[in-house]
Structure 1
């Protein structure tokens, strides 16, 4: 098993080039202008943020936005997402999508784990109130439900396994789409806290399983230099690990605590972001 410092130094692909960052921030400014919204927070949410991009990985940009306060007073609620077609730009494929602030806070109230992933992304783009939103962990963290989050990650892992492990081959990227949520669930089982977004930190959970970490190290190395859609022969050691841990964690998750907090404070926070 390689050391943590070796893993941290492993990727040779810049997560986000200067060209891509400038282009993404220009696109975000255009979206804000066209939709007449204030983009509060914007980050990278895919494999680049997880720490294992491929040469052809998309830029998965996710953002949270707010309308002017009067928009929220209409009798009929407007749409609460901005979804854009994937763009083939000079910097690579751009996949941009955003949630309205009210939708975001409603999902946070339900302990939707995606929000905590976005908040801790290591790749943050410039937006109106990015720093302020990112510093709200003290407000948001009590809403985090270990049992809900664990089941969320196990569901992602299980559904991907059911789709991808039916034949003799599997795409490299799909192994990571199974491994990362499974490791996130293992983290929650052990610590009952928000799991790290970056895979390298989750791999520390496998300190006593060198055969599995060696398999993952090899996959990470191949993913850096290979089309992420490239199919490879299934790896029996990883398949067994995934199946064994998925079964174990589905039982262990039942014993995790839920979140029990006063939810009224989010109304005030919502109003503050709207300038009320």
Structure 2
């Protein structure tokens, strides 16, 4: 499935908005990408553009006694391209979260749509430094929590929005990927579906949802699908039990300190 974000007008608009955000907040954008349904490959006609970015302040900002705010969260913005959702993390926060095993940075780095990329050498250094900090057990529990939280909120009424099924399926399959391969799961939804090769009925149900999501307003609820509900509950229970045996990260935090300094020196 093609991603509308590859269209120049949307990309150009988002890049211009990132530049204005950097000037407004007096930061340097280090990396910016598309996240959410567009990056995962199951957008609706009215899907938001979920733009996520990593930024750095000038060096003096990090020398203050009191730490400043380390996120940039903005209200949703209407634009000619659609609704824009911008959210950014300071580079120090990003590395701290990676040290704790938060898998979001590994998702961002594999996004198919990058608005502002790192210099090749720095990207290679970042990827290599982060590798031993990837914690299969922490990442698996992260995705399980996302799935479980959405199921708790959404599987209570007779109807559910189509997009919510994907907000349950995608993290659950990501957790199952980690449980099976103990590696970083793909951001894209299609490769994750390989885990369902022997479940034709589930695959067919997902195909139907993808087709409907592609042309339907994602805010319109549909009747719940018993087959998917049963799969979600059963697979969540299975992976939760198996996750306890997954390994933890092995990275040395001193290497993240070095990487943080390298980022600041490069500004």
For the criterion TM > 0.5, the same-fold answer is yes
RMSD: 1.3
The Cα of 1:132 is off from its aligned counterpart by 4.7
- In the alignment, which residue of structure 1 is the partner of 2:147? 157
- In the alignment, which residue of structure 1 is the partner of 2:105? 115
- In the alignment, which residue of structure 2 is the partner of 1:147? 137
The Cα of 1:130 is off from its aligned counterpart by 5.4
The CA deviation string for residues 125-158 of structure 1, in whole angstroms up to 9 with x for no partner, is 025x354554322111110100111111011101
Any conservation in 2 of the 1:15–1:53 contact (CA below 8 Å)?
no
- In the alignment, which residue of structure 1 is the partner of 2:8? 18
> Which one of the candidate residues 77, 80, 94 is aligned to 1:87?
77
The Cα of 1:16 is off from its aligned counterpart by 3.9
- In the alignment, which residue of structure 2 is the partner of 1:138? 128
Structure 2 unaligned regions, length at least 5: none
Secondary structure, in 3 states, of the residue corresponding to 1:62?
A: strand
1:188 aligns with 2:178: yes
Q: 1:130 to 1:157 in 2, by over 3 A?
A: farther
Count of aligned pairs: 265
- In the alignment, which residue of structure 1 is the partner of 2:49? 59
- In the alignment, which residue of structure 2 is the partner of 1:37? 27
Secondary structure, in 3 states, of the residue corresponding to 1:274?
A: helix
1:261 aligns with 2:227: no
- In the alignment, which residue of structure 1 is the partner of 2:205? 215
- For the residues of structure 2 that align with 1:235 and 1:121, how far apart are their CA atoms? 30
> Which one of the candidate residues 93, 106, 109 is aligned to 1:103?
93
- In the alignment, which residue of structure 1 is the partner of 2:229? 239
- In the alignment, which residue of structure 2 is the partner of 1:7? none
When normalised by structure 1's length, the TM-score is: 0.93
Structure 1 unaligned regions, length at least 5: 1-10
Any conservation in 1 of the 2:179–2:246 contact (CA below 8 Å)?
yes
Any conservation in 2 of the 1:12–1:224 contact (CA below 8 Å)?
no
- For the residues of structure 1 that align with 2:198 and 2:120, how far apart are their CA atoms? 38
When normalised by structure 2's length, the TM-score is: 0.96
Any conservation in 1 of the 2:3–2:39 contact (CA below 8 Å)?
no
